[in-house]
Amino acid sequence: MKSSRSRSRSKSNRNRSNNNQGGNVVNRVFDSSGPEGKVRGTPQQIIEKYNQLARDAQLSNDRVAAENFQQHAEHYTRLLSEAQREIDARREEQERQNRERQAERDRERAERQEREASQPAEQQHHQPANNQHQDAPAPAGGDQDSNLVETPESQPKPRPKRAPRRKPKPRNEGGEGQSSGGGDAPEAAE
């Protein structure tokens, strides 16, 4: 059972290939040296080929060859099932970790919502009765969930009104439908 990949003799390359062997076996191409020469392919292809050779040997009444081919097929069947078991175990572990992460996110979200829901009530309890915090900014957007009453002191001070800017008079080049009066003054009825 030799892999078709050429391998270097370095230790790091051997360690890496042994660590990744579980998930890699399903699609890996093997060269299997069987009784009638090499069989090359993925484990599933090799199993099918050895099963076909075993059927052919049974038809020719060669029980020894048929048993030999069945043993080769069984070897690759075990190899494939072990790799599949490792893949399934990894998938289950990842799903478990994902469920744990999601549960943690849900807990954090629930705690945050709980804090936000209890925060206005806590602020109301911590407000002094004589309104010493007049400089505190009012909640933006008029938070409707809040039970706080807005007082004139908590609202922002109004800015002084400025005179509106006047638009320059439009130039009457063609005289088409434009009045000679300013845009601000109402036109006289005829």
pLDDT digits (tens, 9 = 90+) for 98-125: 999 999 999 999 998 888 888 765 565 5
How far apart are alpha carbons 66 and 74 in whole angstroms? 12
Q: Phi first, then psi: what are they for 73, rounded to 5°?
A: -60, -40
Residue 150 is predicted with a pLDDT of 76
Q: What 3-state DSSP class applies to 30?
A: strand
Specify if 161 maps to a domain. no
Specify if 168 maps to a domain. no
CA distances in angstroms from 159 to 132, 162, 167, listed in the order given: 23, 9, 23
pLDDT digits (tens, 9 = 90+) for 120-131: 655 655 555 555
Contact criterion met (CB below 8 Å) for 38 and 105? no
Residue 138 is predicted with a pLDDT of 53
Specify if 155 maps to a domain. no
Q: What 3-state DSSP class applies to 3?
A: strand
Specify if 13 maps to a domain. no
Residue 169 is predicted with a pLDDT of 76
Specify if 60 maps to a domain. yes
Q: How confident is the model at residue 14 (pLDDT cuts 50, 70, 90)?
A: very low
Any idea of the CA torsion for 50, 55, 60, 65, to the nearest 10 degrees?
40
How many structural domains does the chain have? 1
Specify if 72 maps to a domain. yes
Specify if 135 maps to a domain. no
pTM for the complete prediction? 0.44
Residue 16 is predicted with a pLDDT of 45
Structural domain boundaries enclosing 92: 22-113
> Can you tell me the mean pLDDT for 51-76?
94
Specify if 138 maps to a domain. no
Q: How confident is the model at residue 165 (pLDDT cuts 50, 70, 90)?
A: confident
Q: Which residue has the higher pLDDT, 94 or 142?
A: 94
Closest CA to 139 of 117, 128, 147, 131: 147
